[in-house]
A and B are shown apart, each in its own frame.
Chain A
Amino acid sequence: MALLADGGGEAKVLAGGQSLVPMIKLRFASPEMLVDINEIPDLGYHRVDADGSIHVGALCRHADLERSSLLATRQPTMAAAAPLVADPIVRNRGTLVGSLCHADPQGDWASVMVSLDGLVVAQGPRGRRTIAVKDLVHGPFQNTLAYDEVVVEAIAPAPKGAPAGGYLKLERRVGDFATVGVAVSVDRTGDEVTRAGIGLTGVGSSTISADDAAQLLVGGPLTADAIAEAAALAAHAAQPRTDHRGSASYKRHLVSVFTSRILTGLIRSEEEAA
């Protein structure tokens, strides 16, 4: 913390380094100082609290989450995303918290955490504060932390009912940046959706929270009509640009397809189970 303050805004926190180090090599970033947090003990945890909220420490690696039985049983959206982040070797170093702070519009975890109404706990010289992930990420590679603050954990709040959801991503090959990614989370009591969130990866200058689409799902069951309408609203919320990964209209279409596919998949797997 003192080192970050000494850096006076020119210092960067180094956790997994799987995005930051390549960016430094490519001269996209040139911090004066790196503060390596890897030797700080006891930050590698992920756990569920008595209230059902899931807490992920700043040094919890993607690979830990990929192998987590806790996520597999309690947080389907996170469990679906973990094996799709980067590649297996990068997942041994990279961290969820680092990914959130890095605020890459093509980062997977920010969309997932946005869909869960996730929070981060930032520690600074003036104490701790909690920031919604929606407010943490506010532009391409820009977060709203003060220069002497560091995120110590991310939190997925307790679900308001039975949690369901998923994450789908199109990438040209394993480890490439997402062409499009969609995170969907719905909590339900019986058939009724009590809370919903949809986060979009790679289709804007920042992670997008498709609030209108999510809100439409709340208060009723997941019907085919509701799913189709939510998928259309999610596509509407996307702000994709045409680039070498695809045209804007193609990416917008994918948002609709992925949203619909995740939600339809939930219903189908429940029907099969019944």
Chain B
Amino acid sequence: MTSLFQEVSPGAAEETPTRQITVTVNGESRTAVVEPRLVLAHLLRNGLNMTGTHTGCDTSNCGACTVLFDGKPVKSCTMFAVQADGHDVMTVEGLAGPSELHAIQEGFKEEHGLQCGFCTPGMMMASKALLEENPNPTEDEIRWALSGNLCRCTGYQNIVKAVMWAAQKLEDEG
């Protein structure tokens, strides 16, 4: 089943039951041949080797797999990869370059917004969507926006502080 995850050049042979899809991931156009049943999270992790997106509950509860789909946070374990064909996906790897931190990542570091770190990528992507829509959120608004993301270490207090820290930093940077 190498075709399941293999990246191929555009125009490669298309055989049932696979589909060739082209997805923009973190600004880069990626083409892959996938089974229609493959979920987006698995394409990202196993196919594109972007393991920043975590799969937790696998049933749309926990939010660890949250990515931005056309700019909106969605749970990538509950979407098929073929549904992303022609769409734009942003993962935690897209927040900043390899040797730099996005203000949200910095906030999580500064405010100890993570313990085991499993939920963190999903928390950050949900936070990114929130701050883009609402650059200066209240604590309540942050809690509301992150209510679809579970932290089993129960570190919610510091996660909220981390997002507030990031909002402040982004505002200072203008």
Contact in complex: B148, A18 (CB < 8 Å):
no
Task: Report whether over half of chain A's contact residues are helix, strand or loop; otherwise say mixed.
Answer: loop
**In the complex, which residues of chain A have a beta carbon less than 8 angstroms from the beta carbon of B72?**
63, 92
A83-91, A97-105, A151-159, A262-270: which one contacts chain B? Answer: A83-91
Question: Is A25 an interface position by the 8 A CB rule?
Answer: yes
Question: Is A70 an interface position by the 8 A CB rule?
Answer: no
Beta-carbon contacts under 8 Å, B17-76 to A = 36, 39, 58-61, 63, 66, 69, 72-75
Beta-carbon contacts under 8 Å, A62-116 to B = 63, 86-90, 92-93
Contact in complex: B78, A93 (CB < 8 Å):
yes
Question: Is B91 an interface position by the 8 A CB rule?
Answer: no
> Interface residue tally of chain B, by bracket?
20 to 34
Contact in complex: B78, A87 (CB < 8 Å):
no
Question: Is A174 an interface position by the 8 A CB rule?
Answer: yes
Partner of A36 from B66, B83, B149 at Cβ < 8 Å: B83
Contact in complex: B63, A89 (CB < 8 Å):
yes
**In the complex, which residues of chain A have a beta carbon less than 8 angstroms from the beta carbon of B61?**
175
Contact in complex: A90, B148 (CB < 8 Å):
yes
Question: Is A221 an interface position by the 8 A CB rule?
Answer: no
Give Cα A17–Cα B84 distance, bound, in whole angstroms.
Answer: 13
Give Cα A22–Cα B75 distance, bound, in whole angstroms.
Answer: 11
**In the complex, which residues of chain A have a beta carbon less than 8 angstroms from the beta carbon of B63?**
87, 89
Among A26, A34, A38, A89, the one with the most B-chain Cβ atoms within 10 Å of its Cβ is A89
Contact in complex: A21, B79 (CB < 8 Å):
yes
> Interface residue tally of chain A, by bracket?
10 to 19
Q: Contact string, A239-251, partner B, CB cutoff 8 A, digits 1/0?
A: 0000000000000
Beta-carbon contacts under 8 Å, B125-167 to A = 126, 144-145, 147-149
Which A positions have Cβ atoms within 8 angstroms of B? 17-18, 21-22, 25-26, 34, 36, 38, 63, 86-90, 92-93, 174-175
Question: A-B pairs with the 8 shortest C-beta distances?
Answer: A87-B148, A89-B148, A22-B59, A174-B147, A92-B72, A21-B78, A89-B73, A88-B148
Which B positions have Cβ atoms within 8 angstroms of A? 36, 39, 58-61, 63, 66, 69, 72-75, 78-80, 82-83, 126, 144-145, 147-149
List 30 A-B pairs, Cβ < 8 Å.
A17-B78, A17-B80, A21-B39, A21-B79, A22-B59, A22-B60, A34-B36, A36-B80, A36-B83, A38-B83, A87-B63, A87-B147, A87-B148, A88-B73, A88-B126, A88-B144, A88-B145, A89-B63, A89-B66, A89-B73, A89-B75, A90-B75, A90-B148, A92-B69, A93-B75, A93-B78, A174-B147, A174-B148, A175-B61, A175-B148
